[in-house]
Structure 1
Amino acid sequence: MDPVITNYIGYAASFFIVLSFALKDIRKIRIINFIGCALFVIYGIFSNYLWPIIIPNGILCFIQVYHLIKKT
């Protein structure tokens, strides 16, 4: 993938993670944080498999989905 697009995915991921800290509603926090983590997984894959980025963010994606499903 084009490195410029990969960088934009990384910037978007960072934006969503930071945005999740500015929210008060836990459901919105989990949704926005999930989007950021998923984008970081995509960014890690497109950046030649950066496992230190992929693994923790992948785990966090599952945790966010678990809590979103459990709450509803």
Structure 2
Amino acid sequence: MDNATIWEWVGYAASVLVAISLMMTDIKKLRWWNTAGCALFSAYGVAISAYPVALLNGFIVLVNLYYLWRIYRFEQSD
């Protein structure tokens, strides 16, 4: 399997993870699944030199992590 084919499958996996995330009713699960999908999309974007894809998905990873941090932080203070 050549390198291009491997990265194509990474892109498919990222799509599946983002799609799964959108089916979640629990916001924590949604953000975790979405973070995984966006991290894969970010790696995929870098690998195929699609930098707008990589940057946008990297930004979404950071946003998800920020909100996950807030969720877990406020859970502990209850």
TM over 0.5: yes
CA RMSD, 1 decimal: 1.0
Give the match for residue 16 of structure 2. Answer: 15
Give the match for residue 62 of structure 2. Answer: 62
CA displacement at 1:65 relative to structure 2: 0.3
CA displacement at 1:58 relative to structure 2: 0.6
Structure 1: unaligned runs, 5 residues or longer = none
* Count of aligned positions: 71
Instruction: Tell me: higher relative CO, structure 1 or 2? Use CA pairs within 8 A at least 6 residues apart.
Output: 1
Give the alignment's TM-score, normalised by structure 2. Answer: 0.87
Give the match for residue 30 of structure 1. Answer: 31
CA displacement at 1:45 relative to structure 2: 1.0
CA displacement at 1:51 relative to structure 2: 1.3
Give the match for residue 52 of structure 1. Answer: 52
CA displacement at 1:55 relative to structure 2: 1.1
Larger Rg: 2
